[in-house]
Amino acid sequence: MTPVHFSFSSAFILGLLGLAFHRTHLLSALLCLEGMMLSLFLALALWALQLQITSFSVAPVMLLAFSACEASIGLALMVATARTHGSDQLQNLNLLQC
């Protein structure tokens, strides 16, 4: 495994571990998801450059667009949660409390 592949895979794993262990606030979970998406974007962009395939160069841009949509939906959910429950803590979210 090359150092570049190791750094991207370790960045993704660190984001996944952050998502698994720091689930107290919704904002920290969203930041971990964004870190994972950023590492996937960089790995996909460098993979397309390494293979020198011009038709595959659209895939990182599509991933970035989906990541932006995911971030906007996540922030909208966080604002709605903060307005209804008073905080962004994930412990306050309960299906029985609707």
Tell me the HSE value of 11 on the side-chain side, using a 13 A CA sphere. Answer: 17
Q: Kindly report, residue by residue over 15-72, the tens digit of the pLDDT.
A: 999 999 988 888 898 999 999 999 999 888 888 778 887 777 788 889 889 999 999 9
Tell me the pLDDT band of 97, cut-offs 50, 70 and 90. low
- For 25, the enclosing helix (H) or strand (E) is none
Separation between Cα atoms, residue 39 and residue 83, nearest integer Å: 32
Q: Is the pLDDT confidence value at 98 over 60?
A: no
Separation between Cα atoms, residue 60 and residue 48, nearest integer Å: 8
CATH assignment of the domain containing 28: 1.10.287.3510
Structurally, how many domains does the chain consist of? Answer: 1
- Residue-level pLDDT at 96: 63
Tell me the HSE value of 17 on the side-chain side, using a 13 A CA sphere. Answer: 6
User: What is the domain extent for residue 90?
Assistant: 3-97
Angle of CA points 65, 4, 53, to nearest 5°: 55
